[in-house]
Structure 1
Amino acid sequence: MNSCHHKSNLSPHQTLLYCLTTSSCFVASLYIFVPPAVQRLPRDDPLHIRWRSAVIVAFVFICISIYPWLFCQAAIENDDNHDKEPSFLVYLGIVRQQSLAECIVQDVKILLHACVLYLGSFSCTWIEIYQYACQLQSDELTNNTRISTNSNVHFSPTPLLLHMIKSIQQTVLQPKLSSLHQCSTNQTIRWIHLRNLLIAPIVEEIVFRSLLLPPLLSHYTTTQSAWIAPLFFGVAHFHHHYTKRHLYADSKHLMASLVLQWGYTTLFGAYASHVFVRTGSLWGVCAVHSFCNWMGLPEVGFVRRGSMLFGYRWLIGILYGVGISMFVRLFDSEMNWFPEVSVIGSLVRGA
């Protein structure tokens, strides 16, 4: 089917049932089609990751194949506008109607928008680099003073900028190169990174954004849809705690972990859903998902008195506040960071 006249024959309750069925089948497939012997392996075992990846990739292809049969009306021969209707892949965000250059610019904007939220975390890294450079300079001055005292030879101090370059090399570049080397030599680490940074972001964004949001937009507003879809995304992550329930001392710790995970995934899902609906870019949202998986939760260890960043806690806190403020501000249509009119919403409601 080349073109898609998106239909809304399903009632709101039927649409919610479709969303629940899709997300439930996504989770169930991991338990039904992965052999029991493989399921008993650790979650980070390469064989376990390969099996789960194969199952969910197959599930995604099946869902994409079924989607036009559920939500695209048949061609109307006497309808002149039918030939102008986009492919159903446009509704899913897999294909876009803009030029390649426009798509790249928009996706870079999406990624930079997510980076703004981590302004505090980035500041922690740069402060650590600065502190290490100051320590290198202090060690050099101590060394040179001792040598000068013994030999009457005077040394000119190395500029702090050169120590900063050395600090970046030792605290950032070398660990990253070591991590890349581990990925190339250690199969377990390689598959964990592939799962967290490539497979999971793409698969989850297709299932919980592409396949759920266009049908929801047929009955709900952009804001409502952006908050409804993440509920299924958050609930779908509960099965992780079922497999790791033995790690918790009691049910209270398990429940607290469940609530924290649900809250985080729901908030991220709402953000990703809103960006997807506004821009129509699946790949930009996948990039953000991968970036957030790589960054993890924001750094908050600087508030501990024993932390090397404790002395900078007010500066880091202010930068976190600035980052959050800029993050929220960039959603404003006056900033022109995102399209003023919802791309996916316009497609669905104009169909």
Structure 2
Amino acid sequence: MCLFITDHNTCLYSGLSCIFLTFTYVGSLYIWRSQLSRDHPITIKRRFFSVFCMMMIAPIFTYNLVKEETLERGSLLEYMGFRFSGMISALIIPLLLTATLFLGPLTMHFFAGTWKLYMDPVIWILSFQDLVWLRNHIMAPISEEWVFRSCMMPLLLQCLEPLTAVFTGPFLFGIAHFHHLHELLTGGHTIRSAFFTSLFQFSFTTVFGAYSAYLFLRTGHFFAPLVAHIFCNHLGFPNFFEVLRFPLMQRIVIVFNYFLGLFLWVYWLVPLTSPFIYDNRLELLT
């Protein structure tokens, strides 16, 4: 049975818990004293263990701090984004919606012929044997969406309006990525370069976090932001200067698709995340 707390202390404990989980998640990556780089297999394996532990710890806070009134409309698992109904839609539609936003970069992949690599089974086998690939495409998205969306959002929603929670939680998510400042400095970057690079990462991850939280609340599914997260991690932030490497006509098509993708994403964002499509009866963000 959940350990319910008084309404007076709900927001204080929920907020402090989210802050604690944010800094603990980051801190767990640095408990291993080592001079090895972040891409070294030993470092990656240790951090896999760290974030796995965080995935075990985070739901304890959610379970113990959630209010009884919060669960009147659905179970704790539903609030955390886990149910079978609407799962297929949650796996496919948000992925296609996110791909629409990246229509420009995908067009560059098409013109460059790199899209053919996805049809090669050997590439996939090698990828799943690569710890860096597994970190970027599997462990990081799963652990981050689990901690920052599934475990934190139910706590934030007890204190904040849904739209406010969409931007509050991602701010903590962005802060969690500011730890790259330390890695850049130890990697030889100047303070100025490391700071502005980390500031950019903070801004980008905060914006993505808001999008991810929006998907989570609209669809009511853990897998909706997860597939979007994996896709974004795979493509990375668009390299606009790369467009200049293509012939003129291809360049025009690519630039056009950049704007078309953004327009279609904005146009389809609300209808394609309709709670009805995903059988989201909680409808926390309508």
Corresponding position of 1:319: 257
Q: CA deviation at 1:295?
A: 1.2
Partner secondary structure for residue 46 of structure 2: helix
Q: CA deviation at 1:257?
A: 0.3
Alignment of 1:92-241 (within 5 A): 92-93=80-81, 95-96=82-83, 99=85, 102-129=86-113, 172-173=116-117, 176-177=120-121, 179-180=123-124, 182-183=126-127, 190-241=130-181
CA contact (8 A) 2:13 2:65 kept: no
CA contact (8 A) 1:120 1:319 kept: yes
After TM superposition, the structure 1 stretch with the greater mean CA deviation from structure 2, 222-231 or 173-182, is 173-182
**Higher radius of gyration, 1 or 2:** 1
Corresponding position of 2:26: 27
How far apart in 1 are the matches of 2:178 and 2:199?
A: 10
1:225-249 deviation line (CA, Å, top 9, x unaligned): 1111111111111112202213354
1:179-219 deviation line (CA, Å, top 9, x unaligned): 345446xx6xx111111111110100011111221121122
Corresponding position of 1:259: 199
Corresponding position of 1:58: 53
Partner secondary structure for residue 237 of structure 1: helix
Query: Which of 258, 267, 272 is residue 329 of structure 1 equivalent to?
Result: 267
CA contact (8 A) 1:91 1:344 kept: no
- Structure 1 letter corresponding to 2:80: L
TM-score normalised over the length of structure 2: 0.86
Q: 1:118 and 1:347, CA in 2 relative to 1: closer, same or farther beyond 3 A?
A: closer
How far apart in 1 are the matches of 2:3 and 2:74?
A: 6
Q: 1:48 and 1:111, CA in 2 relative to 1: closer, same or farther beyond 3 A?
A: same
How far apart in 2 are the matches of 1:58 and 1:48?
A: 15
- Structure 1 letter corresponding to 2:104: G
CA contact (8 A) 1:4 1:87 kept: no
Q: CA deviation at 1:283?
A: 1.6
- Structure 1 letter corresponding to 2:117: L
Does 1:338 find its partner at 2:282? no
Identity, % of aligned pairs? 28
How far apart in 1 are the matches of 2:118 and 2:161?
A: 48
Alignment of 1:57-96 (within 5 A): 57-73=52-68, 86-93=74-81, 95-96=82-83
* C-alpha RMSD of matched pairs (Å): 3.1
Q: Which runs of 4+ in 1 moved over 6 A?
A: 3-7
- Structure 1 letter corresponding to 2:274: F
- Structure 2 letter corresponding to 1:289: H
1:289-331 deviation line (CA, Å, top 9, x unaligned): 1111111122423443xx1344432321111111111111112
Q: 1:114 and 1:8, CA in 2 relative to 1: closer, same or farther beyond 3 A?
A: farther
- Structure 1 letter corresponding to 2:155: P
How far apart in 1 are the matches of 2:125 and 2:247?
A: 29
Q: 1:124 and 1:191, CA in 2 relative to 1: closer, same or farther beyond 3 A?
A: same
How far apart in 2 are the matches of 1:219 and 1:273?
A: 16
How far apart in 1 are the matches of 2:27 and 2:90?
A: 35
Query: Which of 179, 182, 201 is residue 242 of structure 1 equivalent to?
Result: 182
Total equivalences in the alignment: 283
Query: Which of 268, 286, 290 is residue 230 of structure 2 equivalent to?
Result: 290
How far apart in 1 are the matches of 2:7 and 2:211?
A: 25
CA contact (8 A) 1:27 1:239 kept: yes
List gaps (5 residues or longer) in structure 2: none
List gaps (5 residues or longer) in structure 1: 75-81, 130-167
How far apart in 2 are the matches of 1:221 and 1:192?
A: 38
How far apart in 1 are the matches of 2:103 and 2:118?
A: 23
Q: CA deviation at 1:107?
A: 2.4
TM-score normalised over the length of structure 1: 0.71
- Structure 2 letter corresponding to 1:61: M
How far apart in 2 are the matches of 1:248 and 1:260?
A: 18
